[in-house]
Amino acid sequence: MRTVDRVAAVGAGYSRTGRGTGLTSWQLALQAAKAALDDAGMTPQDIDGISLLWGVAGPAPAGLDTVDPMDFGYMLGIPALNWWGTAGPSYVGPAIQGVTAIRAGMCRTVLTLRIINQRLSSGQELAQSATMGPIKAPGDSSFTAPFGSVSPVFAIAGLPARRHMDLFGTTEEQFGAHVVAQRHHASMNEDALFRDPLTLDDYLAARYVTKPVRILDCDYPVDSASAVIFTAEDRARDCPKPPVWVESMSYSSVKYMTFENLDDFNDNSPFHAARELWSRTDLKPADVDCAQLYDGFTIIVFQWLEALGFCGLGESGPFVEAGHTRLGGSIPVNTDGGACNVGRRHGANFCIESIRQLRGECGPRQIADAEVAVWANAVGPFSGAMLMTKDR
């Protein structure tokens, strides 16, 4: 069977994004797909594979329509698909599985999407459940939910962040330094939802959700869809914009499946994914011009900085505080402002910002001569990373 060696991203786009957009999941997906097709100079007839993840992260509002990859293909007028799939976590699942399908020769051009509607707020969630009878905790959640581990913020952020502080001396001011830096980046991004500069004092004055995690450490739930088109090398050369190559990628799952039961709360799947990522390329961390690291919560950025080798285990706090991750620093991080500021696109914005930096499309936040970008998504039991390059 004929396989494909090189795969490139050739188009990327977003739906309208924000709170209370009134857009259905189908409309969000269509807007993002059309934007990516326009960017790639393609029509739906060029697409022969679709991989996507649809769904709300957290409690979902009622009445959402479901985006299924096959159904969505027919909606776009694609008569037949050579490959389709739905995968997680977040956006890295669809991206890695789409590129894998192209490399395997199963299809030539894949439309990858993450479609996500805004979750119910904790207030809505409380109001909804207050009138109910006792809430059951089925399966493995019977070991966590009765103790109040009932939101991802506790096990994904609160527990590892506090442990990072106790083990390595990381401080809340160092978490804040990251939040302030990426808001600074957002101030240069017209697509960002939050653009007003923040100070460290603003950060420290923000309310806690679960100590040591503040509301400003959490990404911002919105309605959004993001789409990226990947294609094989021969087709990529025909696209109007310069191809952005997949240099290396990795996809990790480590035991155990539950955040509260991980073998190590800080050294988990990102470290595994990063080792594999670097083992599949000749490039090194020092070759990377920017890193776009999933910031569902601030601690995840710190974990990825260490995992990818930009600093040592436990050294991310001082590393961030010293300014290395700001634009102009040794490894600018989240140059679009991250999901705390552009909204929860569930990982896809990190791929799209990598593409835009490597194309030189980023205006005032553009990194001069950017040639290599890494983006990473998810954490804990499951995650993935991708190293991308421009023609060099």
Determine the Cα–Cα distance for residues 261 and 254; give it in Å rounded to an integer: 11
Determine the Cα–Cα distance for residues 392 and 349; give it in Å rounded to an integer: 24
Compute the least distance from the CB of residue 363 to another protein, in Å.
Answer: 37
Q: Which residues bind another protein (CB under 8 A)?
A: 122, 125-126, 129-151, 154, 157-163, 166-167, 207-213, 255-256, 258, 260-261, 263, 265
> By C-beta, is 209 or 307 nearer to another protein?
209
Determine the Cα–Cα distance for residues 44 and 35; give it in Å rounded to an integer: 12
CB-based contact 78:47 (threshold 8 Å): yes
> By C-beta, is 27 or 122 nearer to another protein?
122
Taken in order 349, 355, 358, 362, the sign of the CA dihedral is negative
Compute the least distance from the CB of residue 101 to another protein, in Å.
Answer: 31
Determine the Cα–Cα distance for residues 379 and 159; give it in Å rounded to an integer: 13
> By C-beta, is 274 or 299 nearer to another protein?
299
> By C-beta, is 43 or 124 nearer to another protein?
124
> By C-beta, is 41 or 152 nearer to another protein?
152
Compute the least distance from the CB of residue 384 to another protein, in Å.
Answer: 24
DSSP lists the bridge partners of residue 374 as 291, 387
Q: Which residues contact 55 (CB under 8 A, 6 or more apart)?
A: 115, 116
Instruction: Show the tokens assigned to 168.
Output: 């390595």
Compute the least distance from the CB of residue 139 to another protein, in Å.
Answer: 6
Compute the least distance from the CB of residue 150 to another protein, in Å.
Answer: 5
Report the relative pairing of strands 372-379 and 290-293 from DSSP bridges.
Answer: parallel
The residue whose two tokens read 């017209």 is 190
Q: Cα angle vertex 63, ends 58, 66, to 5°?
A: 75
Compute the least distance from the CB of residue 80 to another protein, in Å.
Answer: 42
Compute the least distance from the CB of residue 126 to another protein, in Å.
Answer: 6
> By C-beta, is 24 or 210 nearer to another protein?
210
> By C-beta, is 16 or 163 nearer to another protein?
163
